[in-house]
Amino acid sequence: MLTNKRILLIIGGGIAAYKSLDLIRRLRDQGASVTPVLTRAAEEFVTPLSASALAAQKVYRDLFDLTDEAEMGHIELSRAADLVVVAPATADLMAKMAGGLANDLASTLLMATDKRVLIAPAMNVRMWEHPATQRNLATLKGDGVLVVGPDEGNMACGEFGPGRMSEVPDIVAAVGAALGDGPLKGKHVLVTSGPTHEPIDPVRYIANRSSGAQGTALAAALRDLGAKVTFVTGPANVPPPAGVNVVRVESAGDMAAAVDAAPQADAAVFAAAVADWRVLNASGSKMKKDGSGKAPALEFGENPDILATVSKRTQGRPRLVVGFAAETDDVVENATSKRKRKGCDWIVANDVSPGTGIMGGDQNKIVLISDDGAEEWPRMGKDEVARRLAQRIADALAG
């Protein structure tokens, strides 16, 4: 419930603006009050009168409306809310936000606010995928702006792909999470992610192809459900999500130490691709060719198994321990025996054979293995896998 929460809803000028009228109703159903702000372009899609009628509030439209300044200045308007929601967030609005422009009421409010901002992007697929939009998105995320969607599907413009505004219930859920009201409120979840680097000498290391994308998406999804997240990450290709406690590590040994040092968790998810071996005779200075043509002999020692260690803790074991299994053959059989061997509650198994494009890609196809057997999920985006897994974790901790 969003009882007594005050939402400042900025409606941008896109066809998805019609969904924002429903969003006003659904937020009010949850007990929130909604103050709508319409951009000029938004008024081409929905009328101020409908927004005002549904919100049962005055609609704000113009920066230079002196009557409004007398009633409530734009600074005050931006601060009186608990959360600022931008839906639909058009490519233009996102660019203005990323660039710090303040040349109309909506962009000025977004610059002036001291509250969290949640955007629900909506635009044509090409506009979404344009490097400028992706750059702006990365900037906004870096600034701590929360993002819900966009979804993938048929678009009003006749094209197909990511760019559709999230459905209203998903936006309402994201609002709840942004206000710390999700089902994981008060829970602490530990997530490991990314590859590890095992040094050979100061300039060389042994690594693997994990990008860290799935673990990062999972940490973000858990945060969005209200969890406090400790995110222990190896050197990944993707930046860690905002709003989580990030612990950066390099080697498996560092990762094991960081996991040991983390506060007691309700659930722990081990999505990292940890090196099984480290180089025992790693050199403190750069190894040189000695001219003999003989390659140096590296000696390997086994790394600590972090997942197995935490699963088998007799004290302080998280209630739910989830491992990942990256397999190239006999995925379900191998992952099922891995679950037993490691003593974890669930294994998220995926086929990382080169043909699947999963390792380093945006999509994932997983099998969730638990006491209830093996559950095969359809291929979907790593973000969607993360959202569903986070919800499952919330359900398990609630039970």
Q: Would you name the residues annotated as active-site residues?
A: 157
Question: Of 21, 77, 184, 307, which lies in the binding site for ligand CTP, with binding defined by CB under 6 A?
Answer: 307
**3-class secondary structure, 380:** strand
The token duo for 362 is 């945006």
**According to CB under 6 A, which residues from 254 to 283 bind ligand CTP?**
270, 272, 274, 276
Q: Which of 78, 108, 124, 303 binds ligand CTP (CB under 6 A)?
A: 303
Which of 325, 368, 385, 389 is in the footprint of ligand CTP by CB under 6 A? 325
Considering only residues 154 through 213, tell me which ones interact with ligand CTP, judged by CB under 6 A. Answer: 192
Binding test (CB under 6 A) with ligand CTP, winner from 54, 117, 252, 368: 252
Closest approach of Cβ 314 to ligand CTP, in Å?
Answer: 18
Size of the site for ligand CTP (CB under 6 A): 14
Stretch that binds ligand CTP, among 3-11, 317-325, 357-365, 376-384 (CB under 6 A): 317-325
Judge if the upstream peptide bond of residue 150 is cis by omega within 30 degrees of 0. Answer: yes
Residue closer to ligand CTP by CB (options 8, 322) is 322
For the bound state, the minimum distance from the C-beta of residue 315 to ligand CTP, rounded and expressed in Å, comes to 19
Residue in 97, 172, 206, 306 binding ligand CTP, rule: CB under 6 A: 306
Q: Which is nearer to ligand CTP, 69 or 254 (CB)?
A: 254
Work out whether 326 is an interface residue with ligand CTP (CB under 6 A): yes
Q: Which stretch binds ligand CTP (CB under 6 A): 17-25, 26-34, 133-141, 303-311?
A: 303-311
- Is residue 98 close enough to count as binding ligand CTP by CB under 6 A? no
β-strand pairing of 346-351 with 366-370: antiparallel
Distances (CA, A) of 357 to 194, 272, 335, 351, 363: 17, 18, 19, 9, 8
Q: Which residue type does 286 have?
A: K
Instruction: From 55, 45, 44, select the one nearest 85 (Cα to Cα).
Output: 55
143, 132 contact by CB (below 8 A) = no
- What does the alpha-carbon distance between residue 317 and residue 96 come to, in Å, rounded to a whole number? 47
Q: Which of 45, 128, 205, 324 is the binder for ligand CTP (CB under 6 A)?
A: 324
- Sequence length of the chain is 399
The residues, ordered by sequence, that sit 6+ positions from 115 with a Cβ below 8 Å of its Cβ are 8, 78, 79, 81, 82, 83, 84
CB nearer to ligand CTP: pick between 81 and 262? 262
- SS3 of residue 280 by DSSP: coil
The residue (of 12 and 323) whose beta carbon lies closer to ligand CTP is 323
Contact 320, 222 (CB under 8 A): no
| Residues 254 and 174: beta-carbon distance below 8 Å | no
Does 346 sit near ligand CTP (CB under 6 A)? no
CA atoms lying within 13 Å on the CB side of residue 358: 18
Residue 245: helix, strand or coil by DSSP?
A: strand
Distance CA 330, CA 188 (A): 34
Asked whether position 88 contacts ligand CTP by CB under 6 A, the answer is no
Instruction: Report the alpha-carbon distance of residue 317 to residue 380 in Å, rounded.
Output: 31
Q: Provide, rounded to whole angstroms, the least separation between the CB of residue 259 and ligand CTP.
A: 8
385 is an interface residue for ligand CTP by CB under 6 A: no
Cβ atoms of 221 and 390 within 8 Å: the answer is yes
Which listed residue (323, 331, 345, 386) binds ligand CTP by CB under 6 A? Answer: 323
- For residue 216, state whether it binds ligand CTP (rule: CB under 6 A): no
Residue with Cβ nearer ligand CTP (21 or 271): 271
Residue 143 or 333: the one with the smaller Cβ distance to ligand CTP is 333
Using CB under 6 A, list all residues that contact ligand CTP.
192, 252, 270, 272, 274, 276, 303, 305-307, 323-326
